[in-house]
Amino acid sequence: MRWPTGRRSGRPLDRLFLHYLAAFAGAAVFACLLGLPVLAPGFTSESPEVQQMLAKACAFLEKSGPSQFGVGADCLTAMALLKAGRDPAHPRVQSAVAGARKLAQNVAQSGVGNHCYHEAIACVCLCEVDPKQYAYEIRVLAQGMLKRQLPSGAWSYNPYTYDDTSQTQYGVLCCWAAHHAGVALPSSAVESAAHWLMQTQRPDGSWAYRASDPPTHSMSAAGLSSLYICAHLMGFGVDAKGAAAKEGKPDLPPALQKIEKEEKKRPAYLRPSNTNGQQVFGKAAGGNAWFAKNLNYDVTKWTHYYMYAVERYKSFQELVEGKTEAEPDWYNAGVEYLQKTQSQDGSWNTQDAFGSDQQIHTAFAVLFLTRSSQKAIKKATLDEGVLIGGMGLPKDLTNARMQDGKVVTPQMVRDVDDLLELLSSAEDKDFDARTLPGGLSLDADLTKRTSQLERLRALVTNENFEARLAAVKTLARSRELDNVPALIFALSDPNWLVVEAARDGLCFVSRKFQGYGPPPNATPEQKQAAQAKWKQWYLAIRPDGQLMD
């Protein structure tokens, strides 16, 4: 097939096109010969070339077994698979979650181990998978990390030998993830970490692993990314200024416009007492100047660990400074480097990275390619109706109103039969049990009511968190002793919202308004102790009562 012909300078259009194509190619060659820059193709995480690399890398990670380096490495793999689009139910993800939860139990009993990597990465992983379902474990891991923070503001080994930039970056990242998952953090922890980072920065803007070491690419990215994270947490970024400018004028329905002022338990930013933005941005400018001269990926030590730190640095820089670029040069260069170095089996390997392996290096590369930090930032801020600090809003705010301090939409108020049908079909993806106004009404007919209650009691063991919460909140409103075994069982639920509803229901049924606990955000031991007391109370008034195992 020929191009349509026409006349321009005596050439048909097909010959003219070929002429221009040849001229462009010749110009590119000529530019290369002269050392002039030639425009390279830009990439995003959705580019076909990137997706092709990710498909091979994920296949490699999915075939890999549990890491010889422990739960932190498994959680790193899980995070990579999640960022690449794998489902949270993926076996590798669920295996990592199980390891992270077990680690949280160990931390609750014995504290953080020799180093902080496993605990920090496990905490970040659980925040990625489901910050509500694993709220208890996230809080335990975050508090364990805070206890291990040194007076200097850094994190390091135990017993202590030196301040460690590498562990500090994961301590800071853990704080950020936990904060946005709803864990209350002391502002002093973030502020002291920021001070340590500013004090240990070299005059040329770089960082080293420890004070006596020479600066490196990986530690400079670790230090600068952590400094930007601290800047965001302390409210020095343009996002915080924008939020302050809009205070009192949120883009919400009129009935909800006071919600930001009413919600004080989880502030979006941790206000510092002894740090100002000018200090932080002065140090960040020094780091940016160093990377303007030294950013490259052809480094032999901890290459892919370094690349993930660069992606984190650039993502938080975008957030704090409010400057984004669709196809940034630093990302394009990283994609090209990874294209050249990916193995046939889909993995990557760092030449010099003691204490790690191809599975870890590949996970780091995937986190770079997927723009994982950028995705985490979007998830943690006002994306898809989620308030900063993890407090939820329904996706559809039409005709929304405040009821008992919660946001309620009319379509969420259903009777029990409607609710049970909804949960069994699982077709309503927008259903959010957190917004139920204190439970649903039961049928006035005794036979139907009995059937409804029996089905609700069975739901307290359902694998779906929202089903359990809806059931417990409704059972808690009915002052019937037959509901007590189910409510006592629900005190062991992994989600604190379910536990809280069950505890309040037991206090209501027993008329013991002080009750037997457990306290908010209870440990497993506190839950068990409360269950034992409630069981003792129940069997005292109903000796033949049957408890749930």
Q: Where do the H-state alpha helices sit in 181-302?
A: 187-200, 217-233, 238-245, 259-262, 277-294
Residue 93 predicted with pLDDT over 70 = yes
Q: Please indicate, yes or no, if residue 212 is contained in any of the structural domains.
A: yes
Most confident of 306-310, 349-353, 508-512: 306-310
Write down the pLDDT at residue 487.
Answer: 92
The pLDDT-based confidence of 533 (bands split at 50, 70, 90) is very high
For β-strands 406-408 and 401-403, DSSP reports them as: antiparallel
Query: 385, 400, 420: which is the final residue of a domain?
Result: 385
Write down the pLDDT at residue 291.
Answer: 98
pTM: 0.64
Lowest mean pLDDT of 114-118, 192-196, 349-353, 527-531, name the range: 349-353
Over pLDDT 90: what percentage of the chain? Answer: 55
Who wins on pLDDT, 400 or 125? 125
Claim to verify: residue 150 and residue 221 sit in the same structural domain: yes
Claim to verify: residue 357 and residue 376 sit in the same structural domain: yes
Residue 66 predicted with pLDDT over 80 = yes
Write down the pLDDT at residue 353.
Answer: 80
DSSP string, 398-437: TT-EEETTEEE-GGG---HHHHHHHHHHT--TT--GGG-S
Cα 241 to chain center, whole Å? 23
Q: What's the token pair of residue 214?
A: 């020479």
Q: Please indicate, yes or no, if residue 26 is contained in any of the structural domains.
A: yes
Average pLDDT of the segment spanning 167-171: 98
Cβ 171 vs Cβ 193: under 8 Å: yes
Write down the pLDDT at residue 381.
Answer: 67
Claim to verify: residue 208 and residue 267 sit in the same structural domain: yes
In whole angstroms, give the CA distance from residue 324 to residue 377.
13
Write down the pLDDT at residue 424.
Answer: 53
Average pLDDT of the segment spanning 120-130: 97
Residue 244 predicted with pLDDT over 70 = no
* Mean predicted lDDT score pLDDT of the chain: 81
In whole angstroms, give the CA distance from residue 251 to residue 247.
10
Cβ 281 vs Cβ 235: under 8 Å: no
The pLDDT-based confidence of 199 (bands split at 50, 70, 90) is very high
Q: Please indicate, yes or no, if residue 484 is contained in any of the structural domains.
A: yes
* pLDDT tens digits for range 368-396: 999 999 999 988 864 433 333 333 444 44
Claim to verify: residue 536 and residue 465 sit in the same structural domain: yes
Identity (one letter) of the amino acid at 306?
Y
Query: 322, 352, 385: which is the final residue of a domain?
Result: 385
Claim to verify: residue 56 and residue 160 sit in the same structural domain: yes
Average pLDDT of the segment spanning 503-511: 86
In whole angstroms, give the CA distance from residue 368 to residue 225.
14
Average pLDDT of the segment spanning 251-258: 47
Who wins on pLDDT, 96 or 460? 96
Q: What angle do CA 197, 199, 203 make, to 5 degrees?
A: 105
Its domain, for residue 216, covers: 48-385
Number of domains the chain contains: 3
In whole angstroms, give the CA distance from residue 392 to residue 390.
6
Q: Please indicate, yes or no, if residue 407 is contained in any of the structural domains.
A: no
CATH number at residue 248: 1.50.10.20
The pLDDT-based confidence of 469 (bands split at 50, 70, 90) is confident
Claim to verify: residue 349 and residue 253 sit in the same structural domain: yes
Helix, strand, or coil here: 358? helix
What is the helix (H) or strand (E) element at residue 22, kind and residue range?
A: helix 13-34
In whole angstroms, give the CA distance from residue 215 to residue 219.
7
In whole angstroms, give the CA distance from residue 3 to residue 514.
85
Q: What's the token pair of residue 325?
A: 């670029």
* b (16+ CB within 10 A) / e for 319-340: bbbeeeeeebebbbbbbebbee
Sign of CA dihedral 196, 200, 204, 206: negative
Lowest mean pLDDT of 82-91, 284-293, 367-376, 425-434, name the range: 425-434
